[in-house]
A and B are shown apart, each in its own frame.
Chain A
């Protein structure tokens, strides 16, 4: 502060300007850079936000992360990054990092710094005590999609084999569980069949509930560059992505099933079904023909709220395309019918023969940087390596690899995330270990979630930052974050990329991997579940063996080979060449190229899906349909991006998008503050943005903001198959408040 004042005085006196002008310095690799961003060395890594998996270089000077550059050689992003990636180094030295283990020594007491030994020993002994007193269902773990695969693999073993817990799930259930379930139902296994190059190679790109321009920005260029493709965007809102579209179907919320049934009917009637593919590689087509019979075009158009011609035009575009890519994200997944909708999109691709060819695939674009890693190596929805809990052969496999008796391998999945929360409320679950996720902001119906968390006997939270969740914790374990640890991430196209450690974690913070090792040691099981492990690369080597022969086969990969190529796509069995310029050099671009699926019959299954009504539909008391989502500047609950000044400046607060017709009726203007009320809670003083990107009667609020937490309003209703929440549709009302916003021009 004193220095600043002196500097300021120097400026006023005219003595300081010259030396204070930011200087520039030349970097061997990137040329002229800001001097303050000029590093001593670059660490090759992969972005830690979304699942696009952009390659980057993290610049370090004097032990501090000072800059980020897109990796020009990385096949995913070719040197470009989104604003979150470009400012990611700021997260490492941001305020709010946890630097020492904290503990409440008595209930309701303050969190005080303790030693790692005390924190770990207390956690392990308390978990043990609660398990002894209340049985194996009483302790549960909620993890994340943010750790490296090596850590997910280690955590799964610790939770399921070490602690022997039944209930373990992650926040990945909040974002892509329906894609997993849908893939499993259609193809017999999880695993996105397509790749990003398909966006560029398709002649028809269908984006369903996927606002990639905001949420997966580095995929948007692929679509823009594909000038020959017709881009069809299906989204209730005129998103930034709708701006890329040649055809935008702004359907009413949750009418997607009706729409796709209608499109399938048109395809069948117009003879645009690939009968050869359907006959050779699928089962259930005849039932589908009968099922879509009632979906007449006029009915579909009326229910979806779009023009009949537009639906027909889209159907014919898809049907006549040589190579159609159907990609989706949370608009599909965040629904009580998410799994079913995914199977319907798979069906659309199957009946048009758009699987396993360049430019042709049903592609789930995942959310988090390593949601894929926990799907593959974790121990939640599946056993590691996409193995099934109820398959004795799969369990025997793992027992053999791990030298464990087969009865140590769990035979059933535990509760999914929402059912763990229900378990807390009904008293089954007494203790929770939450790792790198922030449920108060991200889980639906916050009031109910907070009631659950307050009922716990013990809450252990492991995170890099102080968050609304760590504030509730009895034990806080400070973790290293991205940039401070080594491992691998898998992106949405099954590409495994290296994550590099550039700097040491602050204070006493430790990598999640080391925390798991310490827990295992305290349990007395380190040698058994982590035999000979010293670092994450040891876990990777074991994981390669576990994955060998599976769909997600890593056995041919090593950290060095991954780093050399800039990411390898699984399956990548031992012996796969990586040198040369062949398509195989980066691994396997597409799955199911031979039309053989992972089902017992080898055929993909076609499902007949019918739409169900929205349970919390608008009525006279709650007349608006609320849709929630994201914005490009922020990541999840802003625990990181909320601490990056430039991102906060661009999107400093939440807002509610309101159609001009509704705004006029309510007498509110852009910049006004309103209160939002649902049957479950309220959001006070949220800023109105009057905009025609939403339909009259529908509103949109981003979910990133703890301060205006839209998940106080959302519905705790879940997909019965995937257990994914229905974040996207619920009824709310808007209560205008006094105009305390900016002076407005009185126009929208």
Chain B
């Protein structure tokens, strides 16, 4: 075998006697080399030495007692060229112990730590099972453990490393394709091209430290054997509830405050809207707890305001809840003779917090690891939801007797504008996923326009119908209870559309991930 010659020769191995695959050294006890200043440990992978035996995966599972659906190391298959000069390769990957770990920066509880030796360690005790790290990691390395209700991931066999032993995968590899190496952090930051490979997301996202030595003459069409399949993601029903209700809440409160500020219907008539806004937000907060593996530890989510949009979302929505409660309370007291001016001030504070909260909420989804989410569309869609359905609820909460054509027109108009923005966002999404040829956009196109085409059509039809009902209500102004019937129908239609739309938002996103084997989800 001439082609492997360069592979191990150039590797800055961390273990003496590990990577030099000569029979003499295999029997010897490998010795872990200490790190010099500015260095960390990292994995090395020699693709042309890997025979695709999967021993590393089994050794990892045995060492770390991971449940069957929680794989810390996975071996993907790649293929390129055409018969008879077809080439097949394997990609054995675990955590890449990145220089800029996105799992760590996104984690709301600071459960991830980048240790001095470079290992990105996950602390099970601090994890609340929010799974945001899974979205953030371009490699989809952290895995949610259904039984323990938290995530877990590779720590480079830290307990072994600390004892001077090589990780289980390294020790098990029959061909020494997996190594642990030392790397100078600064020079890797400057040049990390060796972390890129077919079947891997761009290393730029998080600065993966795994050095992959590619075989000579890889066919340019080399791709993952798992690329053929595209599986819907989890719908995350609690998050559908959380996002829709927080946006609804903001929409109601904002519409109520705006109505009040411009001198809307008489005193007391906005109390219902204010209360409705608070209730929607409060229900949202409860719904979000259902998403967590360990809801009783939800308070820990406030720990990483410095870098985690999830922490910020929790903080801002909590503050928004308090402010919208105060606003509702002011309106309650206003009925008994309170001060509307104070109410307006509290309302404005609530709206500012709500806008910030929805913005933070949207930013959660702007992760490079999920390119279709990682777009201003996501923010546009979230605010459009608030605008599309919030004013209608406000309108619904105004006492029927107080309704006049003018107010109906303003609020219906606001809703229609929101709905049109929502349709524009969808149009942009469709044109983008059709235009782009990467697996992630193509995958979303397949899911949205093929697998879920019925739901997608319904989602658009509902928005258009809602819009038409609103237009009808505007075109033929009626006051009082008759009007309520019209925009009530519009509200139901639009809410249904938003629920379906949010469901599709979650299930049709295609994450990067790493090449998997034929029968596994990439």
Contacts and interface: CB of A to CB of B under 8 A. Distances in A.
Contacts of B293: 11-12
Given A31-B160, A651-B519, A744-B229, A633 B54 contact: yes
B58 A646 contact: yes
A20 B148 contact: yes
A78 B26 contact: yes
A135 interface: no
Nearest to A212: B51
B428 interface: no
Interface residues of A, number: 90
B450 A743 contact: yes
A67 interface: yes
B26 A83 contact: no
Interface string B76-112: 0001011110111100000000000000000000000
Nearest to B162: A32
B86 A745 contact: no
B123 to A, nearest CB: 9
B21 A224 contact: yes
A744 B63 contact: no
Contacts of B174: 77, 80-82, 217-218, 220-221
Contacts of B187: none
B140 to A, nearest CB: 16
B426 interface: no
Given A225-B21, A692-B82, A695-B84, A4 B147 contact: yes
Residue from B69, B518, B520 with most neighbouring chain A CB atoms (10 Å): B518
Contact of B83 (A14, A68, A224, A692): A692
A747 B223 CA distance: 12
Contacts of A693: 79, 83, 86, 88
Contacts of A647: 58
A747 B4 CA distance: 32
Interface string A215-253: 001101101111101110000001010011010101000
Given A22-B64, A34-B63, A213 B21 contact: no
A690 B223 CA distance: 13
Contacts of A223: 1
A226 B2 CA distance: 9
A244 B86 contact: no
B518 A689 contact: yes
Interface in A21-54: 21-22, 24, 26, 31-37
A213 B294 CA distance: 44
Given A671-B229, A743-B229, A31 B1 contact: no
A32 B157 CA distance: 9
A227 B5 contact: yes
A79 B228 contact: no
A541 interface: no
B49 interface: yes
A746 B57 CA distance: 30
B172 interface: yes
B1 A244 contact: yes
Interface in B38-59: 48-49, 51-55, 57-59
A83 B71 CA distance: 14
A443 B49 CA distance: 35
Nearest to B452: A743
Contacts of B57: 83, 646, 650
A210 to B, nearest CB: 13
B318 interface: no
Contacts of A21: 124-125, 148
Contacts of B157: 32
Contacts of A80: 55, 172-174
B165 interface: yes
Contacts of B160: 31-32
B159 A745 contact: no
Nearest to A85: B55
B163 A31 contact: yes
Interface in B1-56: 1-5, 21-23, 26-27, 48-49, 51-55
A242 to B, nearest CB: 8
B481 to A, nearest CB: 46
Interface residues of B, number: 79
Given A17-B148, A33-B63, A225-B21, A742 B231 contact: yes
B64 A34 contact: yes
B1 A226 contact: yes
Nearest to B46: A224
A748 interface: yes
A8 B62 contact: no
Nearest to B510: A745
Contact of A225 (B23, B64, B89, B173): B23
A80 B23 CA distance: 12
A229 B52 CA distance: 21
B227 interface: yes
B138 to A, nearest CB: 20
A632 interface: yes
B54 A669 contact: no
Contact of B68 (A645, A655, A694): A645
A524 interface: no
Given A224-B175, A671-B228, A240 B52 contact: yes
Contacts of A79: 26-27, 171
Contacts of A742: 228-231
B435 interface: no
A32 B163 contact: yes
B125 A17 contact: yes
A36 B51 contact: no
B81 A650 contact: no
B194 interface: no
A393 interface: no
A87 interface: yes
B68 A37 contact: no
B83 A238 contact: yes
B374 interface: no
Interface in A689-748: 689-696, 742-748
Nearest to B5: A227
B488 interface: no
Given A224-B175, A645-B68, A692 B21 contact: no
A217 B56 CA distance: 13
Nearest to B171: A79
Interface in B217-245: 225, 227-232
A13 interface: yes
A578 interface: no
A695 B63 CA distance: 40
Contacts of B165: 31-32
B84 A652 contact: no
A223 B3 CA distance: 12
Interface stretch (B258-266, B395-403, B439-447): B439-447
Contacts of A332: none
B296 A36 contact: no
A555 to B, nearest CB: 30
B332 interface: no
A670 interface: yes
A501 B4 CA distance: 40
Contacts of B159: 24, 32
A649 interface: yes
Contact of B62 (A67, A72, A213, A246): A67
B295 interface: yes
Interface of A: 4, 7-8, 11-14, 16-18, 20-22, 24, 26, 31-37, 67-68, 70, 72-73, 77-83, 86-87, 200, 213-214, 217-218, 220-221, 223-227, 229-231, 238, 240, 243-244, 246, 248, 250, 306, 632-633, 645-647, 649-653, 655, 659-660, 669-671, 689-696, 742-748
In the A-B complex, the 5 residue pairs with the smallest Cβ-Cβ separation, listed nearest first, are A250-B84, A670-B228, A22-B65, A692-B86, A213-B51
22 contacts: A11-B149, A12-B149, A34-B63, A86-B172, A217-B51, A225-B21, A227-B5, A243-B87, A243-B89, A244-B51, A246-B1, A246-B2, A649-B68, A650-B520, A671-B229, A691-B225, A692-B81, A742-B229, A743-B447, A745-B227, A745-B229, A745-B442
